[in-house]
Chain A
Amino acid sequence: MLRVEGLRVNYGRVPAVQGISLEVNEGEIVGLVGPNGAGKTTTLATLIGLIQPAGGSITFEGKPLRGQPPERIARMGIGLVPEGRQIFSTLSVGENLQLGATARRDRQAVRADTAAVLARFPALGRYYQSPAGRLSGGEQQQLAIARALLGRPRLLLLDEPSLGLAPLVIDLVFDTLANLRTEGTTILLVEQNAARTVELADRSYVLRTGQVVLAGSREEMLARTDFESTYLGL
C-alpha cells in the first residue's frame, strides 16, 4: 500500500533521514521504532507532505506522494495522529471531530461514524461541547485518534501516541490500534516504546540516526537478543 524508497530529508544542511526504505501492506500494523533523533517523526512529516524530501520516492497505492500538499495527501486517504496530539484547543471537541471529516462529502456516513467514534471513546461524548484544551492528555490523545478516524483513512499514521500518557491510557491506545487492525485499517506506528510496538506490529523497522538498521516480522524481532545493542547502538 505504502512504499518508501531511499528517502532522504534534510533540515537545512543537516541530514535527518539518510536513505530509508520501508513498506506497509494493507491490513498490517507496521512499527517504526528508534531512539530520539532517529528520524522517525521526520519520516512521518514527510509522508504527510509537511516536509519536502531531498531525495527518494514515496508511493501510496501506486500514486506518488512526493510534492503533494498535505491537504491532497489527506484526501487520498492518509490520516495523521501527530506527535503531541495537536488538537485545536480553542475549538470544541465536536468541532475537532468535524474537522476530521473535512474531506468527506457523505454526511450520513459521517454522522454514523461520529456516533461510532463516540461509542469507542465515551469521554469525548461527555465533553462534546467543551473547548478541547480542557481535556486531559489521555483524552486529547483519544480525540486525536478519533479525529483521524473520522476521515475514514485507509492508512493511519501515528506519531508517538504513548508519549506522556499514563500506563492505563497507553493500554487503551494500543488496544484501540489492535481493534482497528481487526476492522481492516492499515497502520504505521512510530513509537519510542519499542517493546510494546514490536509486540503489536506485524512487522517493524528500527531506525537510528536516519537509517534503517533492523527490520523484520514480529517473530523475528522478538527473537533477537541483540535488540538493545542495535536499538541503542551500545
Chain B
Amino acid sequence: MTILIQNAIDAISLGSLYALFALGVALVFGIMGLINFAHGELIMAGGYALIYLGHPAWPILVLAMLAIVVALAIAIERVAFRPVRGANPITLLVTSFALSYLLQNLAQLIFGSIPRVTNLSTSLSESFTIGSVSVPKLDVVTVGVTILLLVALTLFLNRTRLGVQMRAAAENFWMARALGVRANTVIATAFALSGVLAGTAAILLVAQTAVVTPTMGSSPVLVAFIATILGGMGSLRGAVLGGFVLGIITVALQAYLPLELRYYRDAFAYGAVIAMLLLRPQGLIVAKSVVTRI
C-alpha cells in the first residue's frame, strides 16, 4: 500500500513536470503549427543561467533566469522562425530541428560538454514523512508550481484581451489577422510564455538532477513531443493531459513491467505515438489552418 502511494506521488510529480514540458511546446504549436524542437534548448539555457547567475536571493534568481530564457525565446522566434513563417509544416519542423542542433552544439562550444553541478537548494531535497510515506519536498513544489502556472495561464487566456486574441489565432490565424490581431504580437507572446514554462521546467529539473549539460534539453523535448501527440496536438488541455498520462505510464511501467521489458519502455511510448497518429489524428487535423480543407 505504501509503495502504491509512493508511486502515485512520483507519478503525479513526474506528470506535472511532463505537463510543463508539453505545454511549452503545445503553446507554440497551437499558434504556429510549429513543433519547436529548440524548446529543449530553452530549458538548457535556463539551466546554465542558474549556474552563472550566482547566489542572489532565490526570487531574484528565478526572475532573472526567467527573463533570460524569455528573451532567448523571443530572439529565437525573431531570428529563426519569422523568416519561415507560413512555410509548410515540414520546413518549420526541419528548421526547429536545425536550430536545436545549433544551440546544443553552441552550448557545447561555449560551456564545454562536462556536466556542471549546482547546489540549487539543499532544503528541497528533504522530505516530509506522513505516516509510512515519505514525500519529497521537491515533488510538492513541482506539483504546486505546475498548478499555479496552469491557473495563471488559464486566467490569461480567458480573461485578457491578448489571451482571447491568442485563442482566436490558434483556431483561425488568418481570420484573426483580418480582424486586426497582430501576428507578431501574438506569436511573440506565445514564445515568451513558452519561455516562462521552459524556465520553470529548468528550475525543477535542475533541483532534481543537480546537473546541467548542453544536451539536457533533449529528453524533455522528446517527452513533450510524445505528450502533445498523445493528448491531441491542437489543444493545450490535451498537452497537459498527455503530460500527466505519460508521467503516470512511465512510473507505472517502471514499477510494474517485468525486468527484461523495462528497457523497452521508451519503445512502447513511441509505439503509442505512432498508434495515436494512425488511429486518433484529430489533434493534428484540428490544430492548424495550414492543412488544406478538402
Complex contact flag A–B (Cβ < 8 Å): yes
Interface on A for B, CB 8 Å cutoff?
48-50, 69-71, 73-75, 80, 82, 86, 88-91, 95, 98-100, 102-103, 147, 151
Between A and B, 11 residue pairs with Cβ closer than 8 Å are A71-B181, A74-B178, A74-B180, A75-B180, A88-B176, A91-B171, A95-B167, A99-B176, A102-B161, A102-B165, A147-B179
Contacts of B165 in A (CB 8 A): 99, 102
Contact check, B181 vs A89: say whether CB atoms are below 8 A apart: no
Nearest 4 A-B pairs (CB), nearest first?
A103-B180, A74-B180, A70-B177, A102-B180
By size class, the interface of chain B is 10 to 19
For residue B183, which residues in chain A have a CB less than 8 angstroms away from its CB?
Answer: 69, 71
Q: How many whole Å from B180's CB to the nearest CB in chain A?
A: 4
CA separation between A71 and B168, bound complex, in Å?
14
B164 contact set on A, CB distance < 8 A: 91, 95, 98-99
Beyond contacts A88-B171, A90-B167, A151-B179: 19 other A-B pairs, Cβ-Cβ < 8 A, are: A49-B178, A71-B177, A71-B178, A71-B180, A74-B177, A74-B178, A82-B175, A88-B176, A91-B167, A91-B171, A95-B164, A95-B167, A98-B161, A99-B164, A99-B168, A102-B161, A102-B180, A102-B181, A103-B180
Taking each of A91, A99, A103, A147, which has the highest tally of chain B beta carbons within 10 Å of its own beta carbon? A99
How many angstroms from the CA of A105 to the CA of B179 in the assembled complex?
Answer: 14
> Taking CB as reference atom, which chain B residue is nearest A75?
B180
Q: Is the interface of A mostly helix, strand, loop or mixed?
A: loop
Instruction: Tell me, in angstroms, the Cα distance from A69 to B174 when the chains sit together.
Output: 10
With A86-B172, A88-B172, A98-B161 in contact, is A69–B167 under 8 Å at CB? no
Judged by a CB distance under 8 angstroms, whether B265 is at the interface is: no
Which of chain B's residues 71-127 have a Cβ closer than 8 Å to chain A?
A: none
Task: State whether A102 and B167 are in contact (beta carbons under 8 Å apart), knowing that A50-B174, A70-B174, A88-B172 are contacts in the complex.
Answer: no
Central interface residue in B168, B172, B178, by most chain A CB within 10 Å:
B178
Beta-carbon contact of A100 and B179 below 8 Å: yes
The verdict on B182 contacting chain A, using a C-beta distance below 8 Å, is yes
Q: Which of the residues A48, A88, A151 comes within 8 Å of B168, measured between beta carbons?
A: A88
Chain B residues closer than 8 Å to A91, beta-carbon distance: 164, 167-168, 171
B179 touches A74 (CB 8 A): yes
In the complex, the answer to whether A80 meets B167 with C-beta atoms within 8 Å is no
A75 to B183, CA, bound (A): 13
B201-226 vs A, CB cutoff 8 Å, 1 = contact: the mask equals: 00000000000000000000000000
